[in-house]
Chain A
Amino acid sequence: MSEAKKVASRAPHSKMNYALQYPENEGGMNERVKRLHQQSIDTPATLTIERALIETAFYKEFYGKMPNCILRARNFYEICKKKTIYIGDDELIVGERGPVPKAVPTFPELTCHTVEDLHTLNDREMQPYLISDEDIATYEREVIPYWEGRTQRERIFNHVSKEWEEAYHAGVFTEFMEQRAGGHTAMDGKMYQRGLLDCKKMIEDNIAALDYINDPEATDKQQELEAMAISCDAAILFAERHAELAEKKAEELGARNEELGIDSEERKANEQRISELRKIADVCRWVPAHAPRDMQEAIQMYWFVHLGTVTELNGWDCMNPGHIDQHLYPFYKKGLEDGTLTRDKAKELISCFWIKFNNQPAPPKVGVTALESGTYNDFTNINIGGIDKYGNDATNEISYIILEVQEELHELQPGLSIHVSKVTPDDFVLAGARVIRQGHGYPSCFNPDTYTKELVRQGKTQEDANEGGTSGCIEVGAFGKEAYILTGYLNTPKILEITLNNGIDPMSGKKLGLETGDPRTFTSYEQLYDAWHKQMVYFVNMKLAVNNYIERMFSLYAPATFLSLFIDDCIARGRDYYSGGARYNTTYIQCTGLGTITDCFSTMKKHVFSPLTPEGGMPSGPFAGCKTVGERMDLILEALKYNWGESAPEGHPLQGMGGLKLRQFIMNRTPFFGNDDDYADAIAVKVYDDLVEAIEGHPNTRGGTTQLNMLSTTCHNYFGSVCGASCNGRLAHFAISDGTSPAHGADTQGPTSVIKSLGKLDQTKSGGTLLNVRFVPSLLKREEDLKKLVALIRAYFNMGGHHIQFNIVDTQTLLDAQQSPDEYKDLLVRVAGYSDYFNDMTEQLQNEIIARTENEDF
């Protein structure tokens, strides 16, 4: 045999030690966790009007009588003082956003739901939020009248131009901030080192150091810092109220035990619970006032911070503990060493913690916002594995425990992602792959080697970048140091539709865009592309202008004085999270439909503009009879107008077979994105680069800049529904492509070709890309299949991929689930950066999941 063989030299880091297995789940969930889990699953989502009532009463009395930052902090204090406190049986980690699990407050200062909205939320089939008629009546009487004309939503819609409003209603873009506050707040590790009393001390020192003579902002800073101090008191009070309730419950059980015989089972159980409640009281008296000392305190610390931020406002993408395995590990290690903790106990605490996330459905959305992200999922996306601040492998035992917990609970929330760097051990990735195989949609996979480059490119230091991660769906951020705010999705195929109609939206007949010319007069592909480019820049600028206005409205009316305590450098700068207090301030526009628009351009280039050029050959198939560019363009435009013939009038050449043949020809005879074909991929790269150029670098109002992001959540469905047919053969109103995934059915060469196509984009230029790949479970049966999955992930990440996620389900399962939803209540599938219950999806979204290309060869 020849010596010259064996291609594969593995990267030196890689142990390829697949024999290492993570410990098998010893016993799975314990009884406590089972009960809490079941309660979380069985409890329906409800709306609570408690927060709105407290807030409205407070605003009626105090609005206008104090600076807004103080007003907001005192409002937060008022809620912490008055809201109903809940401690459930069995709980070790305590605190709920509402009076009971799964109850969500409203935020009338942002958008005040109408009576009709509340009825819709209660009655709608998808993601209902239950609310009683009595509460609706109270809301109508006590809440709604006060907020009329005072909400952020009205401030926004009263301000925007007619052009903006028309483009918004046509679905050219969406607006995130009309129902929720700017979000993306993932935490770093500082709360585990300093309590709120330490924060207060820093605040006092900073106020004492203010220079009222030379610093013209000194008074503003003083007010903001005082507001932050009030917020500290609010959260400490909130925790104290939990301690009191825990003690009260312990006393009640103690009194009950007086009546019970010494050997009664109930008495023993009560004694156990009494000691747990006393521990809870101790914990709540210690955190968040002080830095935590053990694992339970560490988790409770985070949970109080979490609840504080989601009570103060309803920021998008909720709140996120970030690299929780790194943060908890020192407490775990110490607990094992001093004998106060076991692995099982740590796992129980983490399970209780996980269930807390699931108890918090997303704040209810209405209208377009419900369409763009219709889910109870509030997008807490916990990061495990990955790298530490020095770039070293950060995987630890907690990372593995979390995988076990995720696998056992498989609840909707929290989301989980494994972070796979070159330095990440294979056995961890393989352990993650085993959980992926379960088919509950988690974990997704991220590449720190790429996303730290994204962060550094945007101006972060390497160390801050290394401490960063991904939150929400796929969005990168410097955890604990950045306000990275998503503002809305941009519908790139819709812009092409408007371009092909010379500025007019064919859905409404209204002129929305620029007059870039009748495409029948175009003589080159570049002319068409340039026309789209002009329109795209026009709409991006339209959105940017309003983004800046909205940012100011949040700075002025909705400062987040509690959240600001945890984001560097808000305290140091004496500035709010919404006013440039964060060290880094990024504003994102999320572009959707890259696959669809690439395929549209490829179709136009290949079949309309290239034929009869030296490299283009003869027009073929249904285009054979079209001698000129204009004739071929006309054929496509007619097809789009008549939805590939489906709505063509009797006798029209595209009616019936004519339209069918043209559409099939295009779908099968055009290079499409996702097949590792440079013809299409070069177009995708150009579109992507031009989106970056149009969006990146505009100054925002917070001292940062705008950047591109490439996710779609479920917005590709909404965006598809507002678009007519598109040139790539897509029928009118069908979904456009999601994230940076290929258009549905466009990729026919398997997942390695897909990752190759995606690998051609310079992903470091965006704040995140999103790739969905679907596998049927049978493809991942054996250990060696999982190794191949790991290799696929690593190969993509070596090409610079940011993110990849796998939907592991077979078509039959999904069809069955559609037929008998009751039997598939636990069926989670990955949608677009998160997972959702299949039953909670629209039929349209369900069908899309079913239709997405399966990789039958695995």
Chain B
Amino acid sequence: MALIFDIKRFAINDGPGIRTTLFMKGCPLHCIWCHNPEGIPATPVKLYTKKKCIGCKSCVDVCPQKNLSLTADGIQDLGNCTSCGKCADECPTLAMQIAGKEYQLSELMDIVEKERQVMEESNGGVTICGGEPFMHTDYLCELLDELGARNIHRTVDTTLFTSAENAQKVAGKCDLFLVDLKHMNSDKHHEYTGVRNEQILSNIQLISEMKHPFWIRIPLISGINTDEENLKASADFLASLPTPPEVVNLLVYHDIGKGKHDRLGTTYNPEDIPMSPPSEGEQQHALEIFISRGLNTKIGG
């Protein structure tokens, strides 16, 4: 059993067609630009949205740890949260929420099946992302088997930071991988994400050799990975694969993760590493580098 921290219906940027995306909790990477930092810990976390808070103190009153207090700056967490979720249950405005909930397989299937007609009409399906789905490979396989039995198109959105054995196993159970490629330089990769990239690159090589369909998604972040050297290295690597990715999506950086960190009560990019969205010109230049190597590349996902 893995925790799911979000289920998005009508997802249209997570693979072909209109999809339902399941977000699995827990990730071995800690990308500084992470859009879903609530997905990094494998356990439930509390999210607080100040904008929605009306200051009714329902959460303060109900917290068994007496962990919350209302201040001029909204609800403050005194550091003893057990993520029991009582505050979220009580909050009238959904300002207080718990990210991370256990679902029985049957519950998930009930939700997925709601979208069947839309999936069929749009050639869509289900995308499992995270966090990192490979944090829970057994559960992932169970989920994929069940979806497969229901004839539903399965996409796994992953970093492929996992063992070759796992990658191979999951490849046999899904129709498409969406694989993130963040940096070609392993030291830099480690600096920005907390892990080295050798395993990732070799798994990309592996699924390519298996001729398994995959798309590559590259976040374009000025200051991190848009230098000529890295773009060329990325494109060369992808072009050299025995089976190239069906699509390369260049995803323009956005500091959307900032708001999420605020809600988590954590700090976005604490070391203040300079990051910014690439200019139109930089985007076009990046696009050309990939296209010139014969890669089917698009800006956006």
Residue positions of A touching B, CB distance < 8 A: 1-2, 4-10, 621-622, 657, 660-662, 664-665, 668-669, 676, 749-753, 755-756, 779, 782, 785, 787-788, 791-792, 794-795, 798-799, 855, 857-858
A7 in contact with B120 (CB, 8 Å)? yes
Q: Mark B127-157, 1 if CB is under 8 A from A, else 0.
A: 0000000000000000000001111111000
Query: Which of B54, B150, B172 makes the CB contact (< 8 A) with A660?
Result: B54
Q: Tell me, in angstroms, the Cα distance from A791 to B10 when the chains sit together.
A: 11
Among B33-41, B110-118, B215-223, the stretch that binds chain A is B110-118
A752 in contact with B93 (CB, 8 Å)? no
Contact A621/B92 with A8-B17, A857-B8 known, Cβ cut-off 8 Å: yes
A788 in contact with B148 (CB, 8 Å)? no
* Cβ contacts under 8 Å, A785 to chain B: 12
B300 in contact with A7 (CB, 8 Å)? no
Q: Tell me, in angstroms, the Cα distance from A622 to B120 when the chains sit together.
A: 43
Contact A858/B172 with A9-B120, A668-B94, A782-B300 known, Cβ cut-off 8 Å: no
A424 to chain B, nearest CB (A): 14
A664 in contact with B151 (CB, 8 Å)? no
Q: Tell me, in angstroms, the Cα distance from A613 to B220 when the chains sit together.
A: 55
B171 in contact with A753 (CB, 8 Å)? no
- Given A8-B121, A8-B123, 18 further pairs, Cβ under 8 A: A4-B148, A5-B175, A7-B151, A7-B152, A8-B122, A8-B153, A657-B55, A661-B54, A664-B54, A668-B92, A749-B9, A752-B118, A753-B9, A788-B122, A792-B121, A794-B121, A795-B118, A795-B122
Residue positions of B touching A, CB distance < 8 A: 8-13, 17-18, 54-56, 58, 90, 92-94, 114-125, 148-154, 171-173, 175, 210, 212, 300
> Counting chain B CB atoms within 10 Å of each CB, which of A664, A676, A755 scores highest?
A664
A799 in contact with B56 (CB, 8 Å)? no
Q: Tell me, in angstroms, the Cα distance from A657 to B120 when the chains sit together.
A: 47
B171 to chain A: closest residue by CB: A1
B147 to chain A, nearest CB (A): 9
* Cβ contacts under 8 Å, B175 to chain A: 1, 5-6
A791 in contact with B173 (CB, 8 Å)? no
B210 to chain A: closest residue by CB: A1
B85 to chain A, nearest CB (A): 14
* Cβ contacts under 8 Å, B152 to chain A: 7
A663 to chain B: closest residue by CB: B92
B142 to chain A, nearest CB (A): 15
B115 to chain A: closest residue by CB: A752
Instruction: Give the number of residue pairs across the A-B interface with Cβ within 8 Å.
Output: 115
Q: Tell me, in angstroms, the Cα distance from A669 to B92 when the chains sit together.
A: 7
A792 in contact with B9 (CB, 8 Å)? no
- 22 CB contacts below 8 A, A to B, read A1-B210, A2-B148, A2-B172, A4-B148, A5-B151, A5-B154, A6-B175, A7-B125, A8-B17, A8-B119, A621-B58, A621-B92, A664-B92, A749-B10, A752-B10, A755-B118, A787-B122, A788-B17, A795-B122, A798-B117, A857-B11, A858-B12
* Cβ contacts under 8 Å, A662 to chain B: 92
Q: Tell me, in angstroms, the Cα distance from A755 to B116 when the chains sit together.
A: 12
Contact A622/B92 with A752-B10, A752-B115 known, Cβ cut-off 8 Å: yes
* Cβ contacts under 8 Å, A788 to chain B: 12, 17-18, 122
> Counting chain A CB atoms within 10 Å of each CB, which of B116, B118, B149, B210 scores highest?
B118
A661 in contact with B119 (CB, 8 Å)? no
Query: Which of A9, A668, A669, A792 makes the CB contact (< 8 A) with B18?
Result: A792
A661 in contact with B92 (CB, 8 Å)? yes
A640 to chain B, nearest CB (A): 18
Q: Tell me, in angstroms, the Cα distance from A10 to B117 when the chains sit together.
A: 11
Q: Tell me, in angstroms, the Cα distance from A622 to B150 when the chains sit together.
A: 43
Contact A795/B121 with A665-B92, A668-B94, A750-B9 known, Cβ cut-off 8 Å: yes
B151 to chain A, nearest CB (A): 5
* Cβ contacts under 8 Å, A749 to chain B: 9-10
* Cβ contacts under 8 Å, B121 to chain A: 8, 791-792, 794-795, 798
Contact A799/B120 with A661-B92, A752-B9 known, Cβ cut-off 8 Å: no
User: Which 6 pairs from chain A and chain B are nearest by CB?
Assistant: A791-B122, A750-B10, A665-B92, A795-B121, A664-B92, A8-B123
Q: Tell me, in angstroms, the Cα distance from A268 to B27 when the chains sit together.
A: 77
A751 in contact with B10 (CB, 8 Å)? yes
A403 to chain B, nearest CB (A): 22
* Cβ contacts under 8 Å, B115 to chain A: 752
Q: Tell me, in angstroms, the Cα distance from A792 to B154 when the chains sit together.
A: 20
* Cβ contacts under 8 Å, A751 to chain B: 10
A665 to chain B, nearest CB (A): 4
A5 in contact with B148 (CB, 8 Å)? yes
B62 to chain A, nearest CB (A): 11
Contact A661/B10 with A1-B212, A2-B173 known, Cβ cut-off 8 Å: no
A6 in contact with B151 (CB, 8 Å)? yes
Q: Tell me, in angstroms, the Cα distance from A497 to B56 when the chains sit together.
A: 29
B124 in contact with A8 (CB, 8 Å)? yes
> Counting chain B CB atoms within 10 Å of each CB, which of A751, A752, A858 scores highest?
A752
Q: Tell me, in angstroms, the Cα distance from A1 to B213 when the chains sit together.
A: 10
* Cβ contacts under 8 Å, B122 to chain A: 8, 787-788, 791-792, 795
Query: Which of A9, A621, A857 makes the CB contact (< 8 A) with B10?
Result: A857
Q: Tell me, in angstroms, the Cα distance from A9 to B151 when the chains sit together.
A: 10
A666 to chain B: closest residue by CB: B92
